[in-house]
Chains A and B, each alone.
Chain A
Amino acid sequence: MPLASQTLVCSKCGAAIPVEDWNREHAFCATCRSPHSAYVFPALLSKIDQASTAAAIVAEGEASCYYHPRKRAAVPCDQCGRFLCSLCQVEFLGQNWCPGCIDAHRQKGQLSNLDASRPLYDNMALVLATLPAFLVWPTIFTAPMSLYVSARHWRTPSSLLPRTKVRFYAAVLFAVLQIVAWIWLAAYAIRYAIPHA
């Protein structure tokens, strides 16, 4: 059963968009007169298959679902081969998966298609290498931190979107420059400033 009624609403005033205006260019909201376009696809009119929630009870001699022994098996999992009823079958990446395989692959980080978020370590390293430089003294801590983050996460999968490693390169460059500057300053102080003092 669909969870929401098949009603589309104007996003400005919330009034319903009549069926006559679906898939029609240059329609106007009957309430607020805002021009709108409602693009409707066959999925809106099709009912969700209710058989999947009521799989048949297994008869004697028939294969049953691995997770529901009383349900009739419909397909095998393409990863582990376990028999699955239509309730447990998940179509994903063009294959049939069981929930256990999806969970296992996800925990191993092998299913990037299921990631809901990704940290951007290259941005973190770059921020650590650049922003504290305005205050100068924090760089004594943040430059090594930036180097550590860059080294630790150089091969960690970054964004799902196309992204280069240029931020990591920039972070390493800035961090190394800052560390060299601190070393030079320390050497200068030891050689000249402290003996004079």
Chain B
Amino acid sequence: MTPAPEYRRLPGRSGLLIRHSLWMKPDHLLRVRANPFSQQYRRYYFADIQALVLTELPGSAAYYWYAAAVSLSLISALLVNSRHPVLGVLDGIVAVLAFSLGWRVPNCSCYLRTSVATDRLPSIRHLRAARHAVAMVTSEIEKVQGALSRETLDAYQAAGGSGATPTNALLPISHYGGQLHWMLFGSMLFHAAVSAVIGIMGTYSTPLSIVAGASSAATLLFAVLSAFKQHRSDLARGVRWVVVSTLVLYALDVIASFAVSIYASLQLAASKKPPDAQAILNHPAFKAFRVFDVTWFLVLGCIGLVLMTLHRRSTPTPPPLVISENPGIGADGT
């Protein structure tokens, strides 16, 4: 009696504590979900698989992690340069961690369809591994089922099979006037103005710093809320990109602010000067950072307001709601 063939591993893996992987035997595909103490299996026989759909995802979250990794590496270099090697090495480890997290962000998604279920394959998250895995599975399925020719598909379509026109399953897009976006771009301009005043004054002022901090926090809040609100809305693409750019630049701004503050403090400490707020404000690195800060808030705020104005002009205002004088059904159902 010949021993049963062992499972062959397919490329792709996901998860740390709960891990997903795909394995294959000559007649079926095995999806494995494993925790440290057990494994759960799901089998898909090649004769039953109807379709595999692979979709590329933007994977934009990876760029946030890469940006964080680059910034942290910069901070690490500054720390080592300022004769703080231990802190520098620790910071470098965090930078490597950020880079690895960026590397793990999925850039594709794959699902498998049978006649009774449509299941996602969580282990297929990266395009290169996905293409390799899909090619292996496809060849095995075609050994069992045969290949589907283009002519067959055309004949199927001509016979009226599958009403899958691109418009019949569109997700609804809601109308959104963009009130949060107006507030976001307004708060960005306000923050740019307050920061410019602080920079021009050149002296530390507690009330102005509090106002600048509050406007910065408000900007972040409005940006996050706007990003959620604009999802699946009819807002102009340009406006949406400005919000996304604001979030990216805000993250970079926070990291850069942290790095510059540490750098200025360490330099002042090395030169035996007391590192008070005023001294940090007057440091050339901090001045350069403030110019960058004011510039991007100002530029993005202006672009956002201009795009919002153009969007409002291009969007027709709906007619006012006319309330009928006919009495409707009352609360008592009459």
Residues of B with Cβ closer than 8 Å to A?
Answer: 6-7, 23, 30, 32, 34, 36-43, 47-58, 109-111, 113-116, 118, 120, 134, 138, 141-142, 145-146, 148, 150, 152-153, 156-157, 161-171
Complexed CA–CA distance, A161 and B163 (Å): 41
Inter-subunit contact B41/A42 (CB<8 Å): no
Which A residue's beta carbon lies closest to that of B58? A34
* A5, B162: Cβ atoms closer than 8 Å: yes
- A45-B148, A45-B156, A161-B39 are contacts. A3–B169 as well, Cβ < 8 Å? no
Which of A75-83, A115-123, A138-146, A181-189 touches B? A115-123
Measured in the bound complex, the distance between the Cα atoms of B145 and A40 in whole Å is 11
B138-A117 in contact (CB<8A): no
Which residue of B has the minimal Cβ distance to A22? B153
Contacts of A37 in B (CB 8 A): 53-54, 134
Q: Choose from A13, A20, A34, A159 the contact partner of B56 (Cβ within 8 Å).
A: A34
| A34 near B7: Cβ-Cβ < 8 Å | no
Q: Contact: B56 with A8, CB < 8 Å?
A: no
Measured CB to CB, the residues of A under 8 A from B are: 2-20, 22-23, 29-31, 34-45, 48, 113, 115-120, 123-124, 127, 159-162
Specify which chain B residues have a CB less than 8 angstroms from the CB of A123 in the assembled complex.
36-37
Name the distance in Å between B144's Cβ and chain A's nearest Cβ: 9
Given A5-B162, A41-B51, A127-B36, 18 other A-B contacts at CB below 8 A? A4-B116, A7-B163, A11-B109, A20-B157, A34-B57, A37-B54, A38-B51, A39-B51, A41-B49, A41-B148, A42-B152, A43-B47, A116-B42, A117-B39, A119-B37, A120-B34, A161-B7, A161-B23
Q: Known contacts being A23-B148, A31-B170, is A115 close to B41, with CB within 8 Å?
A: yes
Q: Are A17 and B38 in contact, with the CB atoms below 8 A?
A: no
- The minimal Cβ–Cβ distance linking B267 to chain A, given in whole angstroms, is 42
